[in-house]
Amino acid sequence: MSSHSSDGQLITRVVTVNDQEAFAELVQRYQSAIRQFCRRLTAGDYFLADDIAQETFWLAYQKISTFQGKGSFSSWLHTIAYRQFLKHAGSQSTEVYEDDSHTLDESTDKAMEADIMAEKLMKQLSLAERVTITLSYSAGMSHQEIADITGFALGTVKSHIKRGKDKLTSIVQQKPPLTLTPQ
């Protein structure tokens, strides 16, 4: 298996000959981004995020023949992940995303601490702000791609990003600094 194959070549192999190694290559390429996206949507609920990411790739495997290549494969996966998240969010009778079930130990490196802090900061945002900011800054997607994934109007995407950025800036600039501990 060549890691130099394009997404399109790998998708073609999966669709035409059910090449599971080709799909495994796609999972390898995108699993970190999808898992991070899911963690941000769930505001740091690692267990739920991993479940959603796994469901995303399972559904992508089942539906890969429907991928038309009009957008990027990454956008298609993010769309599936977002819809899976919404299914989970809609099935919950109470807000489960405020759970802070993981703890930091003293040996956690700075990158991990920054990632966890980002997830805690994301708890301060609405779901719409979390998803648009995550897709814009973490996934590097354009406003139009975000609109396509979320179904929000383009102007709404821009508004959610601006409002989310303003909230985060306000939180970070608070004096004394905001303590992000479980309530």
Q: How confident is the model at residue 113 (pLDDT cuts 50, 70, 90)?
A: low
pLDDT tens digit string along 136-178? 988 888 999 999 989 999 999 999 999 999 998 888 887 655 5
Cis amide linkage into residue 176, ω under 30° from 0:
yes
- The domain spans of the chain are 7-173
Whether the pTM exceeds 0.85: the reply is no
In the chain the first and final C-alpha atoms are separated, in Å, by 49
Residue with tokens 């977002």: 82
Distance CA 141, CA 136 (A): 5
Nearest in space to 30 (alpha carbons), one of 1, 62, 61? 61
Residue with tokens 């992000």: 180
* CB proximity list for 63: less than 8 A, separation 6 or greater: 80
Which CATH code, of 1.20.140.160, 1.10.3430.10, 3.40.605.10, 2.160.10.10, is assigned to 7-173? 1.20.140.160
Distance, CA of 127 to chain centre: 12
